């Protein structure tokens, strides 16, 4: 199903809708135009729980823009797919770079350059964003600014958490119906392929099957700006990601697929990890406490197999949950 033009009007394409609105709000200081871009009762899902309402988003955006007035977000890719009449989903992968020149919740201006990758997933209906899932590599932000991730995590450990990051059960058949609504019948084979890869390799721990799903010259770009190549190093990284939470379950919450002549077939995935921090002490002494991770991956296929993955999740949010379980007191500012 093609995306209805009225869903992204007055722009020429859904990709242009996402890119132009991003520039108008952030590059051109059009923060007040959020009223034209977001539905009043929209919800943003993040690593620390949902943010409800456009006005709340606007207040937070003003604070962040004050801290990073010259931060530039460069689009690496925008994966768009129809979500029924007059609606579409977009997976926008962005590389952010710029100095912290104003006060921020982490501390006073560091004047150091922050760089990180985000993935923003927007559900657009009738020209307005009605729901969004934002995934950030906040560990990379914190360390490039010169802050201590553990100290920052302790300041976030006592923020109010809702009952889970989604508040809903995982979709029964995400290939047909995910968090963002019913998928079109197009690209069903590619969506099923990625779901099987995540279910079998990530979920059931069949890491030996990685070569079945990937090309020889596989690239993985993941948190902390780490890059791994080939199937063997992918297996090592995935093992190390799961090792702190040996009982982790992986839920595939949403899938979007798009094929373009110049970019090939790309697949955007929204996923959640639920587990217990009782394995490898990557984030300090184990606490035997529950951990929930909101994550997103984008995959590029070549000849039907994975050649690249970009994986983003917030490790500072994990550390905040660990700090809360330990009963750590926030560090005095």
Q: How many CB atoms lie within 10 A of CB 70?
A: 10
For residue 108 the two structure tokens come to: 């006073």
The domains of the chain, with CATH numbers, are 5-156 (3.10.450.50), 177-326 (3.10.450.50)
Q: What are phi and psi of 237, to 5 degrees?
A: -65, -45
Contact between 188 and 175 (Cβ < 8 Å): yes
The whole-number average pLDDT for the span 190-214 is 98
Q: How many CB atoms lie within 10 A of CB 232?
A: 12
Find where tokens 């700090």 sit: 323
Q: How do residues 235-276 score in pLDDT, each as one tens digit? A: 999 999 999 999 999 999 999 999 998 889 999 999 999 999
Q: Look at residue 54 and tell me whether its pLDDT is greater than 60.
A: yes
The predicted model scores a pTM of 0.95
Least confident stretch, 42-51, 152-161, 297-306: 152-161
Which is nearest to 174 in space by CA: 45, 81, 270? Answer: 270
Pairing of strands 128-136, 113-125: antiparallel
Contact between 42 and 158 (Cβ < 8 Å): no
Confidence of residue 332 (pLDDT cuts 50, 70, 90): low
The whole-number average pLDDT for the span 329-333 is 59
């Amino acid at each position: 199903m093609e995306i209805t033009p009225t869903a992204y009007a007055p722009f020429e394409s859904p990709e242009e809708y996402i890119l132009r609105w991003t520039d108008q709000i952030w590059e051109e200081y059009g923060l007040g135009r959020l009223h034209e871009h977001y539905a009043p009762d929209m919800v943003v899902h993040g690593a620390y729980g949902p943010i409800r309402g456009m006005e709340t988003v606007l207040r937070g955006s003003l604070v962040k823009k004050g801290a990073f007035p010259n931060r530039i977000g460069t689009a690496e890719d925008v994966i768009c797919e129809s979500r029924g009449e007059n609606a579409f989903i977009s997976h926008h992968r962005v590389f952010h770079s710029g100095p912290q020149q104003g006060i921020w919740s982490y501390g006073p201006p560091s004047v150091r350059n922050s760089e990180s990758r985000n993935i923003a997933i927007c559900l657009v209906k009738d020209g307005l964003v009605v729901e969004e899932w934002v995934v950030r590599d906040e560990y990379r932000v914190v360390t490039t600014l010169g802050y201590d991730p553990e100290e920052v995590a302790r300041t976030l450990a006592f923020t109010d958490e809702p009952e889970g990051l989604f508040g809903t059960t995982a979709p029964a058949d995400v290939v047909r119906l995910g968090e963002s609504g019913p998928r079109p019948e197009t690209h069903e084979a590619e969506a099923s392929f990625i779901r099987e890869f995540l279910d079998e390799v990530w979920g059931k721990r069949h890491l030996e099957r990685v070569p079945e799903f990937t090309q020889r010259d596989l690239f993985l770009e993941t948190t902390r700006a780490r890059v791994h190549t080939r199937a063997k190093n992918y297996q090592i990284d995935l093992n190390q990601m799961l090792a702190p939470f040996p009982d982790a379950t992986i839920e595939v919450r949403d899938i979007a697929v798009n094929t373009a002549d110049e970019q090939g077939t790309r697949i955007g995935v929204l996923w959640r990890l639920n587990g217990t921090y009782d394995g490898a002490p990557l984030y300090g002494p184990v606490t035997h406490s529950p951990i929930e991770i909101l994550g997103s991956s984008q995959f590029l296929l070549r000849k039907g197999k994975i050649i690249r993955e970009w994986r983003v999740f917030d490790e500072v949010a994990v550390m905040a949950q660990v700090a809360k379980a330990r009963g750590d007191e926030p560090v005095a500012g």
